[in-house]
Structure 1
Amino acid sequence: MITPTQSTTPTTTQSQTAPQSMAASVASDFDTFMLLMTTQAQNQDPLEPMDSTEYASQLAQFSMVEQQVQTNDLLSELAMSLGSVNLEELASWVGMDVRTTAAFRFDGEPVTLSAHAVPAADSAIMIIRDSDGAVIDKVSVPPTEAGFVWAGTASDGTPLPAGTYSATLESYDGEELLSAQPVASYNKVVEAQVGDDTVLLTLESGEVVPAGMVTAVRTGG
């Protein structure tokens, strides 16, 4: 039966200590390099002095190495920062109720479903399917309504067992089928992980959806 409704700290310490240690190492190496170069200049053969361009070349090479080390430090800090942001974002998803068009979990309580029939439709039918894709109920609904409450019963009124279900809203103009679109519902997020350029959410129904499919979020019950 379907009823229309009214419309952390340890990581920070490590990230600070490593760059400081590396900076100290670079400074020490630079002092050592300058000492060696000065000693080399003092002890060179006065009859065959080293070309000044060679000193400049050595200094330039060391400067390039120093810049590369500093660049690597900055990239490491950025990577650690991004990793921290991802963890915080992932943690914020877990336990929340998110609205998507994925299959939903039914546990005996009525489920709120959301869908819009196409404007040209003069009638609409809500199709309910079980986890195997078998149609278990077809109910006519007002095409002007966007929210519906499914009581979790079959077409003969028999209560259905707890499990995973999905719904589709079919829009008709007379006998002509105009569209068949998946219906949205709320699911609790039980796990969040980083995928390819997106956050993947594992729902209580067992479905895994990208965060981009979420159209609404609310505090989990």
Structure 2
Amino acid sequence: MNTDTLLTRIRLEQRSLIDINKKLYELEHLLPDPAPEQFIETAKSTALLSERSTAQLRNFLFTICGGMPQDYYLQAAEMQGIRVDMTDGILSVRLPALLPKKTRTEGFKFLQPTLHAALKQYSKQNGLPHFRECTVCIDHVYDRCLPVKAVRDYDNLEMKEVLDIIALYCMTDDTGALCDQFQTTRFADSSCTIISVMQKEKFSAWLDMKNSAKSVEN
């Protein structure tokens, strides 16, 4: 790219960030007693503008580098807050967001390459077990600032895409013939999803630990 083209692209990204900032000011001015539908719609519009801006900035970087820089998605996973951990034979994967509704899966696609990168790196450095028969536990963590009505029905959530990625690295298959599934919901300081994969015989102890932690929080 020549200098003029680069300058044009940079200014386009600046405008995108200005638009996001304007939307955030709109949200601020809707307080302290916002109309719920208007506040949600404005927040949604802000998030979508941010999605577009991030995608454009990625493409800009890839264009000027002639491709994806080495370890970019791994570094992006760190920035996003994706965490992979193995403790006492239980694999834990933390995603920095709630799983999307089945009708709105676009938001999670943004996390897919970074989740792949995080699991691949962890497997390379530490190794991952291979689970044939296992229990998959999905912990839906909601920001405690959200109202109880924000909690969604489990059958309305899209879990296939994230489970397919995790299964690729450590499971024979996530079919019901081999895997049991358990879901739970709790409130904490920020929203996220924690997916734990374990041998079936470890589930009872895992559940007791989670119930004890909930009792302490309450």
TM-score over 0.5 (shorter chain)? no
Structure number with greater CO (CA < 8 Å, separation at least 6) is: 1
More strand by share: 1
**What TM-score, normalized by structure 1, do the two folds share?**
0.23
More helix by share: 2
